[in-house]
C-alpha cells in the first residue's frame, strides 16, 4: 500500500460496514463508534511487509499471548525437580491442551533420551522376554485416542477450604491430549502373558524410576504405549519418547519415559502408593487403590484469573468437565450458589474419558454471583459437593477431590475462590 492515509470513501465504507454488520449480528452487544480510528485509519501492520515464511521454523504463539503459560506455586514443593506446574485452564478453549501448556509433574526432573538409545523391555511371567527399539514399536498397529490425564492430587489443597485463587491452581493438574500409540495388549500378546500374570509393573527411565502396579485387566483393556501427543512426538516433559497411557485412571500410573514392563502375580509394594497414594477416610481407615478419576468440572471463565471486564449485559460463562468412567452428557451451572440450576450447553467432541467443554450464556445484571458447575457422567454419577465428600472422607485427605468449586464474582467483575455452606 503506497498511501498511508485512507481515502474518504475507504474510511466511510469501513466505518459504515463495521457498524451495520455488528448491529445486525449482535444488537446490544455493539459498542462501536462510527469513527473508531482502529478501523478508519491505516495501522502500522498494514503498511509494512511482515516476516517471511521461515521466520519461525517451529511456530510459536503470538507475543501478545506470552502470559498464557504453565505456572507453579513455589511454596507447594521444595524444589522444581520433584514438583508440579499447572495448565492455564482459564486461557483455553475447546477440549485439547496444546503441548506447550500441558502441566508437568516430575519426581526426578525431565529425562533427556535419544530415541535411538531407548528400549522397552517386557519381562516376568511371559513366554518370551522381549526388548523393543522405537523402530520395533512403530511396526505395530497404532491407534489415536483423546484422553484426559489428571493427577490424583489435583484440587488437593482445597480439602480444608478455599485456598488457591484461580482455576489454573485449583484444577490445573490436568491435560487433555490426542495420543497416538500401540495398544498395550498387542505388546503383551507378542510376549505371551502367562495365566498367572495378573499384574503389570511399569517402570520409567528417569532418575525417580517411577514404578507402578497396574491390574492386567486394565492393561489388556484400553492402555496405550504412546509415542505422539496432538500429532507430534511426545514432549520431553511428557515422557519422550515413550509413555504409558492409562485412560481414566490417576496420573501417577501413566509412567513417562517408559522402559520396562514386568508381568507378575501380585501388586508390587511401592513406597509412594502405600504412603501417599491413599485416601484417608473420616473414620481413620485408608482407601487404597482408588485409581479411577470420578466426574469433575470447573468454570474456567469467569474465574479469579479471568475477571469479567465488560460490565453488565451479555456474558459468556464456560468451563470443562471430565470423568474417568465415560463421557459427560450434561453439566449444570448455578449463578446463585445452588439455589437455581441451569443446564449448560455442551460444545465440541464428546469422547470417552476425555475433557468436555460447556457454555452458559446469560445477561449479567451486575450483581454478585456465586458460580458453580456440576458434572453428570454417562454412568449417571453426579459430581458431589465438597461437604458431601468430606462427610465420607473427612478433612485430612489429599487425593481425589472432585467436589464442586465455587467462584464469588463481585460487582466489579473480579472473582475469588470461596465455599458456600
Ligand atoms: N512417570 C515418571 N517416569 N516419572 C514421574 O515423575 N509422574 C507421574 C506420572 N508419570 C511421573 C511419571 C505423575 S504423579 C503424574 S500426575 C503424571 O505422570 C504427570 O504427567 P505429565 O507430566 O504429563 O503432566
Ligand atoms: Co500425579
CATH of the domain at 336: 2.60.40.650
Can you give the CATH number for the domain in which 220 is found?
3.90.420.10
Q: Residue 238 CA: which ligand 1 atom is closest?
A: 23
Domain edge (last residue) among 265, 287, 309: 287
Domain edge (last residue) among 287, 314, 347: 287
Is the domain of 109 the same as that of 221? Answer: yes
**What domain count does the chain have?**
2
| 384 occurs within a structural domain | yes
| 204 occurs within a structural domain | yes
Residues 6+ positions from 170 with CB-CB distance below 8 Å: 155, 157, 158, 163, 164, 298, 405, 417
Q: Check: CB of residue 81 under 8 Å from CB of residue 182.
A: no
CB within 6 Å of ligand 1 — which residues?
A: 102-107, 149, 151, 175, 204, 206, 208, 210, 237-238, 251-252, 254-257
pLDDT at 275: 42
- Number of C-beta neighbours around residue 186 at 10 A: 16
Q: Is the peptide bond before 99 cis (omega within 30 degrees of 0)?
A: no
| 154 occurs within a structural domain | yes
Rounded Cα–Cα distance for residues 226 and 99 (Å):
14
* Burial class of 231 by CB neighbour count within 10 A (0 to 12, 13 to 18, 19+): exposed
Is the domain of 297 the same as that of 276? Answer: no
| 64 occurs within a structural domain | no
Is the domain of 266 the same as that of 313? Answer: no
**Torsion sign across C-alpha atoms 239, 243, 249, 252:** negative
Mean pLDDT by 10 residues, the chain (421 residues): 36 35 44 80 94 92 98 83 92 98 96 98 98 98 98 93 95 98 98 98 93 96 98 98 98 97 89 49 60 97 98 98 98 98 98 98 98 98 95 84 98 97 65
Ligand 1: which of 77, 102, 105, 224 to mutate, judged by most atoms within 8 Å of the beta carbon?
105
Is the domain of 280 the same as that of 334? Answer: no
- Of 308, 328, 327, which is closest to residue 316 (Cα–Cα)? 308
Ligand of minimum distance to the alpha carbon of 208: 1
Q: Residue 102 CA: which ligand 1 atom is closest?
A: 24
Ligand 1: which of 109, 204, 251 to mutate, judged by most atoms within 8 Å of the beta carbon?
251
Is the domain of 324 the same as that of 264? Answer: no
Domain edge (last residue) among 254, 287, 320: 287
Going from the Cα of 230 to the center of ligand 2, the distance in angstroms, rounded, reads: 21
Rounded Cα–Cα distance for residues 344 and 234 (Å):
34
Is the domain of 254 the same as that of 297? Answer: no
Rounded Cα–Cα distance for residues 44 and 67 (Å):
24
Is the domain of 259 the same as that of 346? Answer: no
| 176 occurs within a structural domain | yes
The Cα diameter of the chain in Å comes to: 84
pLDDT at 321: 99
Ligand 2 ion: nearby residues, β-carbon < 5 Å: 105, 151, 251-252
Is the domain of 165 the same as that of 129? Answer: yes
Is the domain of 283 the same as that of 358? Answer: no
pLDDT at 22: 34
Going from the Cα of 107 to the center of ligand 2, the distance in angstroms, rounded, reads: 9
| 150 occurs within a structural domain | yes
Q: Residue 82 CA: which ligand 1 atom is closest?
A: 6
Is the domain of 283 the same as that of 303? Answer: no
Q: Check: CB of residue 259 under 8 Å from CB of residue 204.
A: yes
pLDDT at 276: 46
Q: Residue 257 CA: which ligand 1 atom is closest?
A: 3
Domain interval for residue 359: 10-26+293-418
Ligand of minimum distance to the alpha carbon of 149: 1
Q: Check: CB of residue 253 under 8 Å from CB of residue 246.
A: yes
Q: How far is CA 305 from the centre of its chain?
A: 17
Q: Enumerate the β-bridge partners of residue 122.
A: 130, 261
Is the domain of 257 the same as that of 302? Answer: no
pLDDT at 82: 79
- Quick check: pTM over 0.75? yes
| 45 occurs within a structural domain | no
| Sole residue written with cell 485463587 | 165
Is the domain of 299 the same as that of 392? Answer: yes
| 74 occurs within a structural domain | no
Amino acid at each position: 500500500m503506497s498511501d498511508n492515509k485512507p481515502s474518504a470513501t475507504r474510511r466511510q465504507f469501513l466505518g459504515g460496514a463495521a457498524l451495520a454488520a455488528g448491529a445486525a449480528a449482535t444488537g446490544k452487544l455493539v459498542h462501536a463508534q462510527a469513527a473508531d480510528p482502529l478501523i478508519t485509519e491505516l495501522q502500522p501492520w498494514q503498511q509494512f511487509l511482515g516476516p517471511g515464511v521461515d521466520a519461525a521454523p517451529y511456530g510459536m504463539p503470538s507475543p501478545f499471548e506470552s502470559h498464557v503459560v504453565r505456572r507453579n506455586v513455589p511454596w507447594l514443593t521444595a524444589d522444581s525437580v520433584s514438583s508440579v506446574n499447572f495448565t492455564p485452564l482459564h486461557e483455553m478453549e475447546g477440549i485439547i491442551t496444546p503441548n506447550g501448556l500441558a502441566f508437568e509433574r516430575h519426581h526426578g526432573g525431565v529425562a533427556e533420551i535419544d530415541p535411538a538409545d531407548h528400549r522397552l523391555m517386557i519381562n516376568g511371567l511371559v513366554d518370551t522376554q522381549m526388548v523393543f527399539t522405537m523402530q520395533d514399536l512403530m511396526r505395530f498397529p497404532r491407534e489415536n485416542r483423546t484422553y484426559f490425564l489428571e493427577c490424583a492430587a489435583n484440587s488437593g489443597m482445597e480439602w480444608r477450604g478455599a485456598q488457591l485463587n484461580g482455576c489454573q491452581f485449583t484444577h490445573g493438574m490436568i491435560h487433555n491430549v490426542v495420543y497416538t500409540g500401540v495398544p498395550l495388549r498387542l505388546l503383551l500378546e507378542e510376549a505371551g502373558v502367562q495365566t498367572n500374570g495378573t499384574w503389570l509393573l511399569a517402570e520409567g527411565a528417569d532418575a525417580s524410576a517411577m514404578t507402578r502396579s497396574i491390574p492386567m485387566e486394565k492393561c489388556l483393556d484400553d492402555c496405550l504405549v504412546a509415542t505422539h501427543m496432538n500429532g507430534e512426538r511426545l514432549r520431553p516433559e511428557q515422557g519422550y519418547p515413550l509413555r504409558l497411557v492409562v485412560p481414566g485412571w490417576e496420573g501417577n500410573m501413566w509412567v513417562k519415559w517408559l522402559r520396562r514392563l514386568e508381568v507378575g502375580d501380585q501388586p508390587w509394594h511401592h513406597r509412594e502408593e502405600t504412603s501417599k497414594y491413599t485416601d484417608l477416610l473420616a473414620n481413620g481407615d485408608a482407601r487404597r487403590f482408588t485409581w479411577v478419576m470420578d466426574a469433575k468440572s470447573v468454570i474456567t471463565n469467569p474465574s479469579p484469573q479471568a475477571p469479567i471486564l465488560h460490565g453488565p449485559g451479555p456474558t459468556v460463562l464456560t468451563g470443562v468437565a471430565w470423568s474417568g468412567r465415560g463421557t459427560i452428557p450434561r453439566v449444570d451451572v448455578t449463578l446463585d450458589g445452588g439455589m437455581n440450576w441451569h443446564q449448560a450447553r455442551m460444545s465440541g467432541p464428546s469422547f470417552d474419558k476425555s475433557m468436555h467443554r460447556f457454555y452458559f450464556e446469560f445477561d449479567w445484571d451486575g450483581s454478585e454471583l456465586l458460580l458453580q458447575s456440576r458434572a453428570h457422567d454417562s454412568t449417571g454419577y453426579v459430581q458431589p459437593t465438597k461437604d458431601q465428600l468430606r462427610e465420607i472422607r473427612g478433612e485430612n485427605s489429599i487425593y481425589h477431590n472432585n467436589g464442586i468449586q465455587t467462584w464469588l464474582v463481585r460487582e466489579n467483575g473480579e472473582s475469588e475462590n470461596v465455599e458456600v455452606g
